[in-house]
Amino acid sequence: MFPSVYYSVIKGTGSYLPCNPVPNDDFLQSQFYDARGNKIETPAKEIIEKFRAITGIDERRYISSEKVTSDIACLAAEQAILSSGTDPESLDYIIVAHNFGDVRFGDNRTDMVPSLAARVKYKLGIKNPMTVAFDLPFGCPGWLQAMITADYFIKSGNVKKILVVGAETLSRISDPHDRDSMIYADGAGATLLEATQNSEPVGIISHSARSDTVNHFRLMWMGKSNNPLYGNGDYFIKMNGHRLYEYAISYVPQLVKETIEKAGIEPVQVKKILIHQANEKLDQEIINRLYKLYGYERPPEDIMPMTISYLGNNSVATIPILIDLLWKKKLNSHTLSAGDYVVFASVGAGMNINAIVYRMV
């Protein structure tokens, strides 16, 4: 007798979008320096206009001073639990993807002990000692890697319900003198996965991941402020934007194609692609190259919902936020129906790439 096959199905979603919008004009008084510590004499207005043309970002959101990452992770988690109708005491696992822990306002140090997942479990008031809580740092693809990990647990046949959260407060570790700091934002998203038996494949159908560390591990790193006079020793997130762009467009399309092929479907069957909101120009080029791998001149209209223009890049939170907005019909004309296939894909520090093909129930 063969064991039953369980599929990982999203039963509930949630997100937390900070109430504090930060428009591009808030950076007009900023003094930027390049990576060598040289003051950039180009007027801030011109820098911001070029930034907008490349990234598509008009504004981003920062959390209020009294909150930390585990707070907003808990708020997103509460929504996912509520929308799924799940008793939180029945959860087998809580996995929280992040990269910097709880960074308090005005203090650049990270705080990751105990784990953010343990903090979320505590804030949710879950007493069940068999609800195992752990963190997963994996760069921007962390939430997606947590979903892949959760899928392995569920397919083991011994796990029924897993809460997967992605939360980040990048505003707390962004260098105010680095132009790249305008990309970063705060936010949290959550999904509740449940083991489901079905006559045909549903939920997570396939997934792929890769880590390119030999030649690409230092495209994103932590370093001192670009301003040599900053002086207090704080470390901030840094990136080699040009090399990161080249890496992403070279490797992400192929990995997504492999994941679609693993699912046994054709690209024409993909209804939506939810990609990490890293940079509008970058995301568009990734999708263009993906469809060219299949011989298409251009991707289908409205294949890729975008939130970066008003939410910025909030790292691990971007895809679960997109899912929450899409599942709850809050993304304008973008909708999904039962049987539709949707692709999730991300790229980030490591360098890491991953993707999932998901079939709607």
| Active-site residue, selected from the candidate residues 279, 313, 314, 352 | 313
Buried b (16+ CB within 10 A) or exposed e, 270-302: bbbbbbbbbbbebbebbbebbbeeeeeeebeee
Q: Per-residue DSSP letters for 65-77? A: TT--HHHHHHHHH
Pairing of strands 203-211, 352-359: antiparallel
| Active-site residue, selected from the candidate residues 140, 177, 279, 314 | 140
Which residues neighbour 42 within 8 Å (Cβ) at sequence distance 6 or greater? none
- Which one-letter DSSP state was computed for residue 189? E
Residue 140: active-site member: yes
| Active-site residue, selected from the candidate residues 207, 216, 276, 334 | 276
Asked if 194 and 80 count as a contact pair (C-beta separation under 8 A), the reply is no
Angle CA 50–54–60, to nearest 5: 90
Asked if 189 and 319 count as a contact pair (C-beta separation under 8 A), the reply is yes
The C-alpha atoms of residue 162 and residue 8 are separated, in whole angstroms, by 9
Strand order in the sheet with 341-348: 203-211, 352-359, 341-348, 270-275
The C-alpha atoms of residue 307 and residue 31 are separated, in whole angstroms, by 27
96 DSSP β-pair partners = 135, 165
The C-alpha atoms of residue 298 and residue 274 are separated, in whole angstroms, by 17
Residue 334: active-site member: no
Residue 276: active-site member: yes
Question: Token pair of 279, please?
Answer: 């940079």
- Which residues are tagged catalytic? 140, 276, 313
